[in-house]
Amino acid sequence: DTGVSQDPRHKITKRGQNVTFRCDPISEHNRLYWYRQTLGQGPEFLTYFQNEAQLEKSRLLSDRFSAERPKGSFSTLEIQRTEQGDSAMYLCASSSGQFSNQPQHFGDGTRLSIL
Amino acid sequence: QQQVKQSPQSLIVQKGGISIINCAYENTAFDYFPWYQQFPGKGPALLIAIRPDVSEKKEGRFTISFNKSAKQFSLHIMDSQPGDSATYFCAASSIGAGSYQLTFGKGTKLSVIP
């Protein structure tokens, strides 16, 4: 069990560019979550997958954001036309269990800085 | 609208003392309440969690107390150690309503001084 892995750990880009982050969940975890955390705040939910199906989306997930989990394993989060306000830590979490709640295990995040 | 309110924002405790962090929620559909610990540069790590059918849960030095009628829950860290210095987040979700998203409080920065 290697834990939730996120890549890259840091991303610096210019405003207006597109960025893509990758998350590899704990092996065999069927649920995968994306959160955003800004400095001094708690994580805020963005979206959630059960296997390859995207089941919940937050109002924070504007049309510039898109997330995929094509084969129910790894997931990608893309931000198009980045803005200053997108600067944050993007956290991925995964959990197991289909009919009962299991704890969400977080990765160490991707820190995005918009110049 | 902040659905989970956490206090205090920061806390300084002497080594060996008890650290107490409080959270209050508004959404009565919440039925799962975890606490996470986060070190700088790291993701949150689950410490302990409680469901509303119990009033207290203890794991080692960490205890959650839960008051359903007051819609409040708290984390107690007994015999606090310098290694406990971190930011702590309470969270909540509505598992019974089929929603697995966690709503987090704003966090409490704990400093344990020797």
Pick the residue of B51, B64, B100, B104 with the most A CBs within 10 A to test the interface with A by mutation.
B100
Tell me if B104 and A42 make a contact (CB, 8 A cut-off): yes
Does A108 sit within 8 Å of B42, measured CB to CB? yes
pLDDT at B12: 98
Q: Does A56 touch chain B (CB under 8 A)?
A: yes
Mean pLDDT computed over A6-30: 96
pLDDT > 60? residue A1: no
B48 touches chain A (CB under 8 A): no
pLDDT average, residue stretch A18-37: 95
Identify the pLDDT of residue B100: 86
Q: What is the mean pLDDT of residues A61-74?
A: 92
Which tokens is A26 given? Answer: 């704990």
pLDDT at residue number B68: 93
Q: How far apart are CA A23 and CA A90, in angstroms?
A: 10
How far separated are the first and last CA of chain A, in Å rounded?
36
Q: Are strands A19-24 and A88-95 parallel, antiparallel or unpaired?
A: unpaired
Interchain contact A83–B (C-beta under 8 A): no
Given a contact cutoff of 8 angstroms between Cβ atoms, the answer to whether A35 and A23 are in contact is no
| Interface touch B46/A43, C-beta < 8 Å | no
The overall average pLDDT reported for chain A is 93
pLDDT at A58 over 70: yes
Q: Where are the beta strands (DSSP E) in A8-109?
A: 10-13, 19-24, 31-37, 44-50, 53-57, 65-68, 75-79, 88-95, 105-106
Instruction: Give A101's pLDDT tier (boundaries 50, 70, 90).
Output: low
- Give mean pLDDT, residues A11-23: 97
Give the rounded distance of the alpha carbon of A105 from its chain centre. 12
B106, A33: Cβ pair inside 8 Å?
Answer: no
pLDDT tens track for B27-38: 999 999 999 999
CA angle (A13, A79, A102) in 5-degree steps: 120
What are the beta bridge partners of residue A94?
A32, A105
Confidence of residue B87 (pLDDT cuts 50, 70, 90): very high
Q: Using pLDDT thresholds of 50, 70 and 90, give the confidence band for residue A78.
A: very high
Angstroms from A18 CA to nearest CA on chain B:
24
CB A106 within 8 A of CB A92: yes
Beta-carbon contacts of residue A57 (< 8 Å; ≥ 6 apart):
A46, A47, A48
Rounded CA separation B51/B53 (Å): 6
